[in-house]
Amino acid sequence: MMKRILSLFLCLWIAMPSAQAAITQRLKDIAQVAGVRTNQLVGYGLIVGLDGSGDKSSAAYTSQTFKNLLTQFGISLPSGTNPQSKNIAAVAVHADLPAFAKPGQTIDVTVSSLGDAKSLRGGSLLLTPLKGADGQVYAMAQGNLVVGGFGVDGQDGSKITVNVLNVGRIPAGATVEKAVASGFNTGDSLVFNLNRPDFTTAKHVTEQINNLLGAGVAEAMDATSIRVRAPRDPSQRVSYLSVLENLEITEGDERAKVIINSRTGTIVIGENVRVSPVAVTHGALTVSITENPQVNQPEPLSGGQTVVTPRTGIEVDAGSGHMFELSPGSTLKDIVKAVNSVGAAPGDLMAILEALKQSGALHADLVVI
C-alpha cells in the first residue's frame, strides 16, 4: 500500500505544531537590522596563462584590453598591430562585500568569461578593480582561478565536458580597499525588518522586546518593520543587539497555500489549507485501437491475387469512476487520504485542486510555479 501511494505523487506535509507547542525562532533568524546588508561589486579584467583555450581573434575587446595593459607597462605596439594570443580571455569579475567589511580583509570572487574562450582552467586573473553601484572602487581582485570542470576534445570532433569550464572562483581573491558607510551607529533607534512580512510576527517581536526592556521600547511600524530604541554608544549598542537578536520569537502562521510545480509534478499542501463541503469525482477514459488485417489467398494455380482486408478494432473503457466527499473544515490529512484512496496521479491531483479553487471550496492560495 505504501509503495502504491508513493508511486502516485510526492506530497510534502509539514505538520505545524499546536499553539501550546509552537516552535520559536531566534530574532536573528527571522529578521535583519536595517542598513546591515551586503553590497554587490563588479569589475572587468583579463585572464592570462591559458593553454590555447582563450578568446579568439573575433573578440576585439580582448585584444584592445591586452594592448591597454601593455601600454601601462610602457610597451607600445606598432600601429595596426592586432595581438591574437589564444592564452588570454576577457572576463567579468563579481563579488559580494559583506556588511562591516574593513580594508585589508579578503572576500571570494567569481570570474566568468565574456568572450568565446573554451576554458578558463589554469588561468590567472590580473589585478582588477571591483566597483560598487556608485562607481567607486571597494576591492581589488587578483589570483589563480579554480575551475570545477574539465573538457576533452577528440580529433574527430567528439567532445566530453564535465561541469562549466567558463566560470571559476578565486577563494579570498579580492582585498577590501574601502569600507561601506553604515547607519548602524547613527540615531537613537534601530529597525528590525522581518524576512517574511507578517502582522502577527511583528506583534510578537514587539511584545517580547517590551516584556524584556520595558513598555514603549519597541513599536511595530507595519507588518515588516519594528523600531527599537537603542543606546548611542557603539560598544553598548553591540551588546544591546546581542541580547535582542537571541530573543525567542513565535512566528505567525503562514497564509494557507498550495504550491504546484507543473514541470516536476511536485505538490506541497500547507497544514492550514481547508476546504468547504464538496464532492469530487475522478475517472479515466481509455480508447484502444487495434489493427487486425485479414489476408485472403487465391487458390493454387488460379491466377488470382492476394487480397488484404483491413479490420480495425476500437475499445472504449470509461474506467471505474471514483467519487470522494470532503466534509466541512477538512484538513491536509483528509485531502491527502481522500485523493490517495482514488489513485490520482500528480496531473489528476493538479486538476482536482484547480477545480476546487475555481468552485470556491479550496480556502488557500493556489500557486503554480
Strands 167-176 and 106-113: antiparallel
- Do 207 and 123 fall into the same domain? no
- Per the DSSP assignment, residues forming a β-bridge with 38 are none
Helix (H, G, I), strand (E, B) or coil at 106: strand
CA distances from 227 to 6, 11, 152, 223, 252 (A): 48, 40, 58, 12, 19
200 and 268 part of one domain: no
Residue 358 confidence (pLDDT): 82
- Domain for residue 154, yes or no? yes
Residues 44, 32 share a domain = no
Beta-carbon-side half-sphere exposure of residue 83 (alpha carbons within 13 Å): 21
Contact 125, 173 (CB under 8 A): yes
What is the reported pTM?
0.67
Domain assignment present for 19? no
* Residue 120 resides in a domain: yes
Asked whether residue 244 falls in the same domain as residue 273, the answer is no
Measured CA to CA, the distance from residue 214 to residue 148 in angstroms comes to 54
Identify whether 76 is part of a domain: yes
Cell numbers describing residue 174: 579580492
Q: Does residue 88 contact residue 66 with C-beta atoms inside 8 Å?
A: yes
**Per this entry, what is the length of the chain?**
369
The residue from 154, 176, 198 where one domain ends is 176
Indicate whether 236 belongs to any domain: yes
What does pLDDT average to in each consecutive run of 10 residues of the chain (369 residues)?
35 40 84 92 94 79 83 78 80 94 95 90 93 94 85 56 81 94 84 93 94 93 94 88 92 85 79 74 52 70 70 53 58 65 68 79 82
Q: What are φ and ψ of residue 242, in 5° steps?
A: -60, -35
Q: How far is CA 193 from CA 27, 200, 205, in A?
A: 10, 14, 11
Answer yes or no: is 230 within a domain.
yes
48 and 160 together in one domain: yes
Tell me what pLDDT residue 6 has.
33
Same domain, 145 and 242: no
Domain count, the chain: 3
List phi, psi (to 5°) of 241: -65, -35
- Mark which of 157, 176, 195 sits at the end of a domain: 176
Query: Which residue, among 64, 177, 71, 68, has the nearest Cα to 129 in the 3D structure?
Result: 177
Give residue 194's domain range: 24-36+183-250
- Cα 135 off chain centre by: 28
**Same structural domain, 274 and 359:** yes
352 φ/ψ sector (left φ>0, alpha ψ -120 to 50, else beta):
alpha
Please say whether the beta carbons of 200 and 253 come within 8 A.
yes
Quick one: how many helices (H) and strands (E) in the chain?
7, 26
Q: Residues near 340 by Cβ (< 8 Å), separated by ≥ 6?
A: 5, 8
Same domain, 229 and 316: no
CATH number, domain with residue 203: 3.30.1360.40
Q: What is the pLDDT of residues 103-117, one digit of tens each?
A: 999 999 999 999 888
Q: Are residues 51 and 171 in the same domain?
A: yes
pLDDT at 352: 76
Q: Are both 238 and 283 inside the same structural domain? A: no
So what's the pLDDT on residue 360? 79
Q: Which of 250, 275, 299 is the last residue of a domain?
A: 250
152 falls within a domain: yes
Q: Are 51 and 93 members of one domain?
A: yes
Kindly state whether residues 235 and 282 are assigned to the same domain. Answer: no
In this structure, is residue 18 part of a structural domain?
no
